[in-house]
Amino acid sequence: MTSRQNRLHRSLIWTGAVVTAIVLMATDASAKLRIVTAFPQDASIAQTIGGNEVEVHSLTTGNQNPHAVDPKPSFSVLLNKADLLIVNGQNMEMAWMPIALTSSRNPRILEGENGYLNPSVGITFIPYAQEELQSTPFFSLNLIVGDPQKSGNHHYWLDPENGLVVAKNIYDKLVALDPDHTDYFKENHERFVTQLKEKITKWDAMMAPYKGVNVVSYHRDWIYLTKRHGLNIFSYIEPKETIPPSAGEVALLVKRMKEKHVPIVIVSPWQPQKISREVARQTGARFLSLPSTVDERSGVKDYISLFDKIYGELTQALKELQVERRNLPR
């Protein structure tokens, strides 16, 4: 073999090695579990537990109305490639997820299949009252007939302790789908649980002085957090789920709030800010817009930092109000 042939031979070997390495790298990357979640809070927890062994995409962002999402064509692309779909459950996605799933052509992630997870299993839900759901576009009375576990308020993740249940369900599913990385998932899960439990103790202590404070919420999304800390939801600006208030309903609410000196109005970023601000202005209450899910654009990068921000802003407002108003607990 000539010198030129030797060089050509070595070059071919080198090229083959490079190609093989690229193929192996691509294979390794594709081996990651592809997870799609309906909402960002579940994407955060799945990413925390799955770490480097998962690729996670949320179909929605933190400033979207979770009840009225437009099922974009991009949803179908993500869902088609997904190994696991994590929904919120409790009919949160009922207006749009079925459309997205029909277009995805991925039977592996349909309800009842291995690639489908409702992480709320095991949570104690706060039930809706019939009058809160009657004649609303996204709900019907049959949702509250029978087992309350099938009809509870679906904003359950806003009690941070429920995040522990969600995390355990996600961990169990990742182990079932990818048992080779059980130890890795277990380590990540245990670290998350330890950190969240420590934070819950801190957050509970922060909120303890404000038990019994009356608050008004636009939507019924803060009920888990307020119940946890003994805050009293005096009323809602939204008279029924997803139904905007009439002028008469707003006027009546303002009158009642003035009579009882309700000190604070809480809303989420995706809810109508203008009307909520106006209610607060007319009653002299503090207006507080709090993030209700993970949204990096607003400085909330994960599930735990979501509550750091919520409790930080809420307790600061309550502390200031405590100074301003004698009727707040001291």
- Max intra-chain CA distance, the chain: 100
CA distances from 9 to 3, 4, 178, 292 (A): 10, 9, 41, 62
Report whether pLDDT(1) > 60: no
For residue 268, being part of any structural domain is answered with yes
Cα→Cα distances 237→177, 270, 285, 306, Å: 43, 14, 13, 24
Q: How many separate domains does the chain show?
A: 2
Name the amino acid, one letter, at 194.
Answer: T
In a domain, 11, yes or no: no
Judge whether 191 lies within some domain: yes
Q: Which of 170, 202, 234 is the last residue of a domain?
A: 202
DSSP conformation class of 144:
G
Q: Residue 145 carries which DSSP code? A: S
How much is the pLDDT for 282? 98
Give tens-digit pLDDT for 166-186.
999 999 999 999 999 999 999
Check whether residue 90 and residue 53 sit in a common domain. yes
183 and 77 co-located in one domain: yes
For residues 24-41, give the mean pLDDT: 76
Q: What is the pLDDT of residues 205-233, one digit of tens each?
A: 999 999 999 999 999 999 999 999 999 99
| pLDDT number for residue 153 | 92
Kindly state whether residues 219 and 314 are assigned to the same domain.
yes
Q: What value does the mean pLDDT take over residues 103-111?
A: 95
Residue 140 within a domain: no
- pLDDT reading at 3 higher than 70: no
CA dist 83 to 59, 118, 173, 193, 302, Å?
Answer: 15, 14, 11, 25, 22
pLDDT digits over 242-259, tens only?
Answer: 889 999 999 999 999 999
CATH of residue 309's domain is: 3.40.50.1980
> Residue 301 pLDDT more than 90?
yes
Flag whether 79 is in a domain: yes
Per-residue pLDDT at 139: 55
Task: With both helix axes pointing from N to C terminus, report the angle between 303-324 and 40-50 in degrees, rounded to the nearest 10.
Answer: 130
Whether 59 maps to a domain, the answer reads yes
More confidently predicted of 119 and 68: 119
Same domain, 224 and 197: no
CA distance linking residue 143 with residue 163, whole number of Å: 24
Last residue of one domain, picked from the residues 136, 169, 202: 202
Of 229, 233, 234, 232, nearest to 209 by C-alpha is 229
Could you tell me which of 4, 78, 5 has the C-alpha nearest to residue 38? 78
Query: What are the backbone angles phi and psi of residue 59, rounded to the nearest 5°?
Result: -75, -20
116 and 219 inside one domain: no
The dihedral built from the CA positions of residue 301, 223, 196 and 203, taken in this order, carries a sign that is positive
User: 232 pairs with which residues across the strands?
Assistant: 214
Distance CA 305, CA 312 (A): 10
Q: Has residue 146 got a pLDDT over 80?
A: no
Residue 150's pLDDT band (cuts 50, 70, 90): low
- 219 and 320 share one domain: yes
Torsions phi, psi of 247, nearest 5?
Answer: -60, -40
Question: Does the residue 130 lie in any domain?
Answer: no
More confident of the two residues 130 and 21: 130
Q: Are residues 79 and 184 in the same domain?
A: yes
Tell me which amino acid residue 130 is: Q
| Per-residue DSSP letter, 141 | G
The mean pLDDT of the chain is 88
The parent domain of residue 238 ranges over 207-324
Say if residue 174 is in the same domain as residue 278. Answer: no
CB distance 173 to 149 below 8 Å: no
Asked whether residue 142 carries a pLDDT value surpassing 60, the answer given is no
Please check whether residue 91 is in contact with residue 154, taking contact to mean a CB–CB distance below 8 angstroms: yes
Same domain as 292, residue 216: yes
> Tokens 């179909």 appear where?
59
What is the reported pLDDT for 23? 39
Domain boundary among 202, 234, 259: 202
Report the distance separating Cα 306 and Cα 61, nearest Å: 14
- Are 224 and 316 in a shared domain? yes
Claim to verify: residue 182 and residue 88 sit in the same structural domain: yes
Tokens of 290: 């709090």
Residues 172 and 62 occupy one common structural domain? yes
Tell me the HSE value of 212 on the side-chain side, using a 13 A CA sphere: 6
Q: Does 296 reside within a domain?
A: yes
State the sign of the Cα–Cα–Cα–Cα dihedral 66, 72, 74, 77: positive
- Res. 60: pLDDT tops 60: yes
β pairing state of 286-289 and 116-117: unpaired
